[in-house]
Structure 1
Amino acid sequence: MDITSDTHSKHISRQFNQELEELKTHLMAMGGLVEKQVQDAVFALLEGDTRLAEQVRDNDRQVNDLQLQIDDECTRVLARRQPAASDLRLVLAVIRATSDLERIGDEASKIARNAMLLGENGSAVRGLVEVRHISEHVRKMLRDALTAFARFDTDLAMQVVREDELVDDEYSSAMRSLMTFMMEDSRSITSVLSVMWVLRALERVGDHADNLAEYVVYLVKGLDIRHSDTDDLEPKVLKKP
């Protein structure tokens, strides 16, 4: 049976209801933090703001602390409530999601470190147009994946899954362009390599957003769609009850 956003508020135990709601609330708070980390890291790179880049790097500890807090809350729920069915899927989905959010925070830190290197260099940088474009794409994926999780929206989740393929294509195209430019101008190698690392980090953010969307499908439908073909899955995932 599919579940909805209010399924976990119908337990006899009011305390259990509250614990499950807190898990979702804290996960959304962590999601908001890592989303801002990515946004600030990209802004720091595009604007040459090394101070903001340092702040992003330093704030990574907050993301790590939130993951530990949420994991501890999930462990307590599993031990004390022994949840079953959709409740168990929610707890497992939250545990998986926090891991991906923590890794997105790590990718934001990588972007920030490269922003600091490029800012110290001070010369014109090739590839910022590609960074801006792909960053907007993956940030939307992340935002939509978090919204899908909050609303238990499998339609939006599947949209995120489809978008990941487009990001992969954009990433490959940008990397080919930068490789060509680097071979034509050896003086640009250092700065272009930094931009390529940033693009790689952004592509990984898209992968983790895709994972979050897959957890939504698992949570709502009970289907594990990892390593599955999107076209084959859509009729089953999007089928209304």
Structure 2
Amino acid sequence: MIRAGHFAKGRVGALARASKAVSVLPRGVRLYSYQARPDTSEKETIVKLLYNIGSKKEVEQYLRHFSSVESQKFAVIKVGGAVISDDLATLASALTFLTRVGLYPIVVHGAGPQLNKRLEAAKIEARYEDGIRITDGQTLAIAREVFASENRKLVEALERLGTRARPITGGVFVADYLNREKYDRVGKIYSVNREVVESSIRAGCLPILTSLAETPDGQILNVNADIAAGELARVLEPLKIVYLNEKNGLYHGTTGK
């Protein structure tokens, strides 16, 4: 599980229990891993998400000042693919709670496990180099389908709860090839179109983003969702950046469970 940090200052919240930092992230972003338990009620999930966002004092502060402009983009939350497949209902409930008190997190999601399953079904080997998925044309075509499908699942889960959400599957991240010879269609983000995200928030919709990027001439490129979330936070400068990974569940800042 990955816990929240203060993006602007590159610090971790007072409740963090760090084990190791993750590399290859934008300057100022540090991630820390921790264990979590998946068997939680909907209410507990909401409480745990809030504690991931910060200390009790910080959470209370956000809720007191929820009508301020700053709190309307108070956090970028990266959601791992397995969280969508295993904990979709509780994730949607927690995000709905935040929007109902005026806090609009910006969600960037991955879909790694789902993509691997689709590749296996198509008898395409998932290949990695330096921990980066080698993305050839076939893999990218399937990845685009998978990302769109998972994005739609999360948006629909939110809308079933009465939360307006906007699917954003492109137009935000501009990238160039990271190393075309080595990784093929994998991107390195160098620009973020913040207007696409901010217009969603102004319309009262929760922005739900995939991490796919594109070149200026329109070539779609695969980008790791952790990196995409970090780049988005670097540009938007939210109060928090939160990473929910594939380990299931959320960590409670008080009980430690």
Q: Is this a same-fold pair by TM over 0.5?
A: no
Richer in strand (by share): 2
The alignment's TM-score, normalised by the length of structure 2, stands at 0.30
Q: Tell me: higher relative CO, structure 1 or 2? Use CA pairs within 8 A at least 6 residues apart.
A: 2
Which is higher, the Rg of structure 1 or of structure 2? 1
The alignment's TM-score, normalised by the length of structure 1, stands at 0.31
